[in-house]
Structure 1
Amino acid sequence: MTGVGEGVTDPYLWLEEVDSERALEWARERNAVSKQRFASSDRFRELEARVLAMLDTDTRIAYPGRRGPWLYNYWRDREHPKGLWRRTTFAEYAKDDPDWEILIDLDALAAAEGENWVWGSAAVLRPAQRRALISLSRGGADAKVVREFDIEAKAFLAPEDGGFYLPEAKSDFAWIDDDTLYVGTDFGPGSLTDSGYPRVVKRWRRGTPLESAEFVYEGETTDVAVSAGFDRTPGYQRHFVGRATDFFNEEVYLLEPDGSLRFIDVPTDASESWYKDWLLVRLKSPWEVAGTTYPAGALLATNFEAFLSGARDFDVLFTPDAHTALHGYGWTENHLLLITLRDVQTDLHVLTPGPDGWTREPLADTPRMATTSVMNLDRLEGGDEFMLSTSGFTRPTTLLSGAVGGGVEVLKQEPEFFDADGIETEQFFATSDDGTEIPYFVIRHRDRRGTPGPTVMSGYGGFEVSRTPGYFGGVGMGWLERGGTYVLTNIRGGGEYGPEWHTSVLKANRHKAYEDFAATARDLVARGITTPDRLGAVGGSNGGLLMGVMLTRYPELFGAIVCQVPLLDMKRYHLLLAGASWIAEYGDPDKPEEWEYISKYSPYQNTSADRRYPPILLTTSTRDDRVHPGHARKMAALLESEGHEVWYYENIEGGHGGAADNKQSAFQSALVYEFFAQQLMKD
């Protein structure tokens, strides 16, 4: 092993200096080489233009966020690359060409203020909806500036005129009333956790300086973050605070008028929520309470006030099995809607509480080899209405609307953006090293059956993130139309089979997620779908770490790898940006017993000049303040020094998503598939 091992000075540590001219010049030099190789052909330019046209077209669905009578939408197109924040009514939205009320033109704002603003979010104060808190970042970073916006006047409120304003930070905020907020932000030394998130929450009143905000709650510097909020359900108003002790554990308390706290005594790794009289608890580990053990992945319901008074009587609303997991849930005014995954395909259910207990019925039909999600539930003002969004790998998204007890009707339909004629989706299962069956989807033209061909497989495998079927226009244009095969893997670490699919590979068991991906690669070859020299792999963030492990541990399985916004130096990941918040996922490299297992797979510590690696394209973003760009920079430099074929591209802005606007997104997509085409489509 010739990599940078424990106790060895890192010769590329200077590449962690994000904005140093030396590091940026290093990145620009490699950008130029990669652009010349992969982004200078007519084929690249044609694909880039097609992807950009797809992202810019007004035939895309403008997904709304419902707030009572209003549907809000953030929209980017060719004329508005930074975007518009706008709203309309449901009746208007249902038309083919809705009339939108433009609230913020971000392009105009950025030009007027001389800032590279990237949209973050909008928190609208209800019920009046006259004010909103708008978060904006410079270049797409997680750290954002928060500004109050007058919706009726369509103007920001200046701090000198009494408007709320938070300087750039990873802030947490929530409306209490017209003149009061809960705020967690950078209040000065000691106010942030080691992960860079708020450690202190305060109550901030309009017209007073931020530094005089009233203390509410604080956590420890070793916590991930603390937060506070206000449930404004009429007749059930509740204030609450939360303390996330790590990425997967949080203590939640109701905040009483006298400032005292009432602990909601459920497992800290559970997800609790409440609505009116009901408390819901979704378990991530088994819970023994009052003589009964409830399994991980179950959803429980009980009377909230009775629970706070000590009662432990639960209704079990969902119990997982070997094939089925709970994927999501949400309230309408009178019903609870459940989304379940059965072998990574969705089913929808409606549960209704009544004097004789809960009843359960199907909500709507769902197509196979597709994903259907429930959206725009508004339990405060929306009655029992809902929207459904459904799409598959070759099925463009359809948006439907309905109400519990009635049918659903098509509201919007996206067009096809690539030629899917003859392309079909299949599901297979690979057997991992420990015997676990790992599902994966294969998307290819039917003529490819029986003939191994160029294939790209993608993976993530972490943080209980489920990867389900969806319409990937860029994949279709850049790969499927060219005759390539695309594979979506569902390796452990995700949530496709419930929380234990995730927790089974935490920390010392992380290697199992990598074994799953490698087993899927071998299964693709065994089934005759591809060959190792024509098999590519792609992943970003935690999936970028997965790619780094594939490169250094399983190089013989792949012909090319794309590694996007990755974690790679697992010896230092917890010291960089938000890395400390992920110790619960990976372990603490400062503890010798935990570094012992991390060190076995950490890509930056396990490179070798003596092994043959497939060509790799590393991409990152200078403005990514979640996963430090130093990971990709240092890995590229190290691989170069060892004589491997490595290509590198760094977007000088763009945040963790890698792109700040549609044009950058189109470039990134075309770059990836041109790289794969050159490496894997050689016949």
Structure 2
Amino acid sequence: MISYPLSKTLDHTDEIFGEIVPDPYQWLEDDVRDNADVAQWVTAQNAVTNEYLQPLENRPAIERRLRHLWNYEKFSLPIKRGERYFFSRNDGLQNQFVLHVQDGQASPRILIDPNEWSDDGATALAFYKPSPDGRLLAYMVQEGGSDWHTIKVIDVDSGEVKQDTIEWVKFSGVSWAKDGSGFYYSRYPKPAPGEEFQSLNLNQAVYFHKIGESADNDRLVYARPEEPSHGFSTVVSSDGSALVITVWTGTDDRYEVVLIDLYKEDKTPVTLVSGFDHNYSYIGSADERHFFFTDKDAPKGRVVSVSAHLRSDNPNWFDVIGEQVGVLSGVSIVGGRIFANYMEDVKSVVREYSLAGDELSVVPLPGVGTATGFSGESKDRETFFAFESFNQPPTIYRYDVEKGDYDLFKSSAAPFDPEDYKVRQVFYPSKDGTCVPMFIAHHKDAVLSKGAPTLLYGYGGFNISLTPGFSVTRLAWMEMGGILAVANIRGGGEYGKDWHNAGRLLNKQNSFDDFIAAAEYLIEQGITTKDKLAIQGGSNGGLLVGAVVNQRPDLFAAALPAVGVMDMLRFNQFTAGRFWVDDYGDPAKEADFRNLKAYSPYHNIRPGTDYPAILVTTADTDDRVVPGHSFKYAAALQAADIGDAPHLIRIETRAGHGAGKPTDKIIKEYTDMWAFLCAHTGLAPEND
């Protein structure tokens, strides 16, 4: 029996719509940096977790193998500006990718190395955007995994970091003026001391920063002070004539769009789209038209255009590419062509169209998997794309738009043979009969007929699709003899808007039913057994794992809920949580409250029922899903009578929601998680 740290309880209750809701661990919501009791609790929990994990016999072998598999050269997709190519490279085990620039056919040179910014590797290069001529580059610095970013500017020729510094930037990109004199971005007001990582994010506004000037002088371009919950994404149109501002209120893809003519003295915004009813996302400009993706009258997406010479609000729109069988997951305009990236049964198919919408060809991809990229300018004659799958690391290709073919740009010599691994797709029925796809991947020598240790992964929310993608950690799991299953449950975007809507708000239970049905399918097919099945998910996927463990604790041997949304009655009280009401509903509305309380992981733990082994993971500086969610959930698990299996929490330091996490921390985290799963699913890797 594990002796868990004592988690004090408070006699705290909330009365919500006439119902008394206990919340004895609400004190664990406080920021660990400001509350000594919470800090002491974190220290005590990590001590108990480490005491359990460190002696696990497979840990040393797993860590050695992870480091070996991770140690190969990796590249990002390049961005071309003028004759310069900007791309990131990691030589293998570097904590952070290093930004390189390549002038034409010359050898690449290092431009920014974030590994020099901190001793622990937890300061990351979160974003970069070169100016139109490639002379300057704006980039964002992320500290300790926080969503707060600082914008800086570097001279590409000299490598000099300029004095330009902009703070309190979150959920923003950078869009350069065509003359390179400055850029547009969005930022929030500076938070009050002590509220930087807990308070709600309100009153974002769009600014223009002129190179060489203080951020204090940045010009306010657009704001809605009467609507403090509205946020803004900006892009300068590819012809340079307009600033396109996408207005959002949450995570659901429903936007208003306004346009500011940059060539006129009158900068009064023109409203292209009003009402937050549909997705309208800017693609690019060509032939004096602005092109947009929309799901209006097309749940799987279509392409429309509008005149670049707008004189009034709510203009006429023209059809370009109608809705197809597949889901339109990405669109770009390069070299006078439209590249439309479709998901057809969760696999990429890229079609090339004329600007008039006539299909010209299908890009011959290297195989069955996921293609990303195809970005660039409307006059470019080349573009780049990456291709990957569960057994194939990302490979970068250069596509010649005029010739319609491609060649290799950058490849990764990963220390394994892709032919040693098999990937297949199956379809299974959910509780209500809905057919749900699932990928199953494993080493070719794995024996599935006797029931093998299996890891089932899911997400099911926010219109996010789980397409075939490569992961070193998953490869290590499969190399050890484990089976990987990825279920494309409702709530994601795998089949468009309707698939998303079927797993959100009052339909959220469908996501859980789909995931449970995936587990039952794997067992019924003899691929695994209940005592060899583990489940994993992060963020919304952490909620998924927490909810299904409560609903079917008998079905799993182990569970890994990461950075999960575990208190569904208070998620909207912190940082970005208010955005998520689009997917979850509003706890202040009675129908939503009843629905949320019915599946909230924190509120539905079932005493008197044996639970699987659970290792909760979070980070002390996560300001996306604040760690109080996981803290409260873990405390409640440990206090409940739910059997003798371990119910532990692993709390990372100087790490956030996942982005920017250094390689060393990732390897150590997965060493612990895989060793935990080995101990509870019976997976026995060879000790090298």
Bin the TM-score by the shorter chain.
Answer: 0.7 to 0.9
Contact 1:56 1:76 in 2 (8 A): no
How far off its partner does 1:565 sit?
A: 0.8
User: Which residue in the other structure is 1:364 paired with?
Assistant: 364
* 2: CA distance, partners of 1:24 / 1:524: 41
Contact 1:651 1:659 in 2 (8 A): no
SS in 2 for 1:501: helix
The alpha-carbon distance between structure 1 residues 228 and 170, as it changes in their structure 2 partners (threshold 3 A), is closer
1:330 to 320, 329, 332: 332
SS in 2 for 1:372: strand
Which moved further from structure 2: 598-607 or 446-455?
446-455
SS in 1 for 2:630: helix
- Runs of 5+ in structure 2 lacking a partner? 1-10
Which moved further from structure 2: 118-127 or 616-625?
118-127
* 2: CA distance, partners of 1:265 / 1:611: 52
User: Which residue in the other structure is 1:567 paired with?
Assistant: 565
- Asked whether 1:244 is paired with 2:238, we answer no
1:389 to 380, 383, 386: 386
How far off its partner does 1:211 sit?
A: 4.5
User: Which residue in the other structure is 1:475 paired with?
Assistant: 474
Contact 1:187 1:211 in 2 (8 A): no
* 2: CA distance, partners of 1:366 / 1:572: 46
Which moved further from structure 2: 180-189 or 246-255?
180-189
* 2: CA distance, partners of 1:605 / 1:220: 36
The alpha-carbon distance between structure 1 residues 283 and 435, as it changes in their structure 2 partners (threshold 3 A), is farther
1:67 to 81, 87, 111: 81
* 1: CA distance, partners of 2:561 / 2:93: 32
The alpha-carbon distance between structure 1 residues 134 and 409, as it changes in their structure 2 partners (threshold 3 A), is closer
SS in 2 for 1:466: coil
How far off its partner does 1:312 sit?
A: 4.1
Contact 1:349 1:364 in 2 (8 A): no
How far off its partner does 1:385 sit?
A: 1.3
The alpha-carbon distance between structure 1 residues 665 and 66, as it changes in their structure 2 partners (threshold 3 A), is farther
Contact 2:165 2:214 in 1 (8 A): no
- Asked whether 1:184 is paired with 2:177, we answer no
* 2: CA distance, partners of 1:682 / 1:366: 33
Contact 1:419 1:481 in 2 (8 A): no
User: Which residue in the other structure is 1:410 paired with?
Assistant: 408
The alpha-carbon distance between structure 1 residues 189 and 624, as it changes in their structure 2 partners (threshold 3 A), is closer
In the TM superposition, structure 1's runs of 4+ consecutive aligned residues that sit over 6 Å from their partners are 2-5, 306-311
User: Which residue in the other structure is 1:261 paired with?
Assistant: 269
How far off its partner does 1:671 sit?
A: 1.7
- Once the two structures are superposed, what CA deviation does each residue of 1:90-139 show, in whole Å capped at 9, x if it has no partner? 534xxxxxx3322223233446xx99522211222222x23222211221
User: Which residue in the other structure is 1:165 paired with?
Assistant: 166
How far off its partner does 1:520 sit?
A: 1.0
The alpha-carbon distance between structure 1 residues 451 and 325, as it changes in their structure 2 partners (threshold 3 A), is same
How far off its partner does 1:77 sit?
A: 4.5
How far off its partner does 1:410 sit?
A: 2.6
User: Which residue in the other structure is 1:350 paired with?
Assistant: 352
* 1: CA distance, partners of 2:348 / 2:561: 29
Contact 1:143 1:171 in 2 (8 A): no
User: Which residue in the other structure is 2:439 paired with?
Assistant: 441
SS in 1 for 2:330: strand
- Runs of 5+ in structure 1 lacking a partner? 93-98, 288-293
User: Which residue in the other structure is 2:318 paired with?
Assistant: 314
* 2: CA distance, partners of 1:471 / 1:79: 17
* 1: CA distance, partners of 2:85 / 2:168: 29
- Asked whether 1:295 is paired with 2:298, we answer yes
How far off its partner does 1:298 sit?
A: 3.1
Amino acid at match of 1:124: P
* 1: CA distance, partners of 2:361 / 2:337: 11
How far off its partner does 1:397 sit?
A: 3.1
Contact 2:95 2:115 in 1 (8 A): yes
* 2: CA distance, partners of 1:672 / 1:226: 37
* 1: CA distance, partners of 2:683 / 2:332: 49
User: Which residue in the other structure is 1:275 paired with?
Assistant: 285
Amino acid at match of 1:465: I
How far off its partner does 1:597 sit?
A: 0.8
User: Which residue in the other structure is 2:61 paired with?
Assistant: 46
Amino acid at match of 1:46: A
How far off its partner does 1:620 sit?
A: 0.4
User: Which residue in the other structure is 2:461 paired with?
Assistant: 462
User: Which residue in the other structure is 2:142 paired with?
Assistant: 137
The alpha-carbon distance between structure 1 residues 367 and 203, as it changes in their structure 2 partners (threshold 3 A), is closer
Contact 1:223 1:244 in 2 (8 A): no
User: Which residue in the other structure is 1:290 paired with?
Assistant: none
Q: CA RMSD in A?
A: 3.0
How many residues align? The count is 651
How far off its partner does 1:214 sit?
A: 3.6
* 1: CA distance, partners of 2:469 / 2:209: 42
* 2: CA distance, partners of 1:327 / 1:516: 22
User: Which residue in the other structure is 2:25 paired with?
Assistant: 12
Contact 2:237 2:244 in 1 (8 A): no
SS in 1 for 2:391: coil
1:81 to 95, 101, 109: 95
User: Which residue in the other structure is 2:3 paired with?
Assistant: none
User: Which residue in the other structure is 1:96 paired with?
Assistant: none
Contact 1:3 1:638 in 2 (8 A): no
The alpha-carbon distance between structure 1 residues 244 and 525, as it changes in their structure 2 partners (threshold 3 A), is same
How far off its partner does 1:512 sit?
A: 0.7
- Asked whether 1:674 is paired with 2:672, we answer no
The alpha-carbon distance between structure 1 residues 421 and 84, as it changes in their structure 2 partners (threshold 3 A), is closer
